[in-house]
Amino acid sequence: MSHTDAPLLAVTGLRKSFGDNLVLDGVDFAVGRGEVVCLIGPSGSGKTTVLRCLNGLEAPDAGVVTFSDGQTQDFAALAKGKEARQQRAALRDRSAMVFQHHNLFPHLTVLENVIEGPVHARGVARDAAVADAERLLARVGLAEKRDAYPHELSGGQQQRVGIVRALALAPDVLLFDEPTSALDPELVGEVLLVLKELADEGWTMVIVTHELGFARQVADEVVFFDGGVIVERGHPRDLFTAPTNERTRRFLDRIL
Ligand code: ADP
């Protein structure tokens, strides 16, 4: 996997509270181009909130996000108001998020779901968006489902359309929030296979997951969260087999 020297995306000092609840207490991490970073940790530790901040869905209280092309977003400097909204919109243009539940529009066909973002949010010409959508659907084995409605698909197929919808935005980074946790167990494999193929193709991905076997296979770095801070990080080979922190060890003992 080829990485440039500067990380594609670096986050420093990310802080976020909901009321009195301090959810992220100074989170720092970086993602190299083509790298896969898996965020693991107990429920409520702040992993989803990190993704939502990166995707501009939440307004952090503080933190700086820097991209390799030099674009920088300092949330403390512009925490409120219109400029903060513009900042978040700029972040959203860089990334695409795949949610736990696919969030497909039920009244739109598969193809219409996929082209909706490129055409309406990114201003791509409809013909070009359709051609791209057909190519991407074929890549995940769903070419023949282009005119189906979401309810006509299995959960795994719906989630694969959700992934295609994110790919169609041609983002710098793909963000996955527990992409298989809402699926029946027998459907998990087909979705993880698509993620693995995307990793092999060199997509830059940040994945919140409880699938530790999968994280071990695909992650360049695993980041363990607990209580709104990063407790430990490392290559899966090291972190899963020889965690250095007691909290990591206890978490892995419970899950593995
Ligand atoms: P994880 O993804 O690790 O399970 P989350 O980032 O979803 O953790 O949540 C971290 C904490 O933030 C939890 O205590 C959760 O209840 C709280 N939280 C998340 N989103 C909101 C919100 N929109 N409003 C209030 N509290 C929230």
- Residue 3 pLDDT > 70, yes or no? no
- Is the CB of 20 inside a 6 Å radius of any atom of ligand 1? no
Helix axes 155-167 and 185-200, enclosed angle (nearest 10): 20
Residue to probe by mutation, ligand 1, list 16, 17, 18, most atoms within 8 Å of CB: 18
What tens digit of pLDDT does each residue of 84-130 get?
777 777 778 889 999 988 789 999 999 999 999 999 988 999 999 99
User: Can you tell me which atom of ligand 1 is nearest the CA of 228?
Assistant: 10
**pLDDT value for 2:** 45
User: Can you tell me which atom of ligand 1 is nearest the CA of 52?
Assistant: 6
Instruction: Give the distance (Å) from ligand 1 centre to CA of residue 231.
Output: 18
State how far the Cα of 189 lies from the Cα of 141, in Å rounded to an integer.
14
Please report which helix (H) or strand (E) contains residue 64, including its range.
strand 62-67
**pLDDT value for 19:** 94
Looking at every residue in the chain, the average pLDDT score rounds to 91
Q: Whose CA is nearest to atom 14 of ligand 1?
A: 44
**pLDDT value for 77:** 67
What tens digit of pLDDT does each residue of 195-229 get?
999 999 999 999 999 999 999 999 999 999 999 99
User: Can you tell me which atom of ligand 1 is nearest the CA of 19?
Assistant: 25
User: Can you tell me which atom of ligand 1 is nearest the CA of 178?
Assistant: 2
**pLDDT value for 89:** 77
User: Can you tell me which atom of ligand 1 is nearest the CA of 43?
Assistant: 4
- Is the CB of 158 inside a 6 Å radius of any atom of ligand 1? no
Q: Whose CA is nearest to atom 16 of ligand 1?
A: 44
- Is the CB of 18 inside a 6 Å radius of any atom of ligand 1? yes
| Inter-residue contact 168 to 136 (CB < 8 Å) | yes
Verdict on whether the full-model pTM lies above 0.90? yes
What tens digit of pLDDT does each residue of 166-186 get?
999 999 999 999 999 989 898
What value does the mean pLDDT take over residues 23-41? 96
**pLDDT value for 79:** 53
What tens digit of pLDDT does each residue of 52-84 get?
999 888 888 999 988 888 788 777 765 566 677
**pLDDT value for 1:** 43
DSSP string, 96-124: EEE-SS----TTS-HHHHHHHIIIIIS--
**pLDDT value for 36:** 97
- Residue 23 pLDDT > 60, yes or no? yes
What value does the mean pLDDT take over residues 232-243? 96
- What is the ipTM metric for this complex? 0.98
The rounded percent of the chain whose pLDDT value lies above 70 is 96
- Is the CB of 2 inside a 6 Å radius of any atom of ligand 1? no
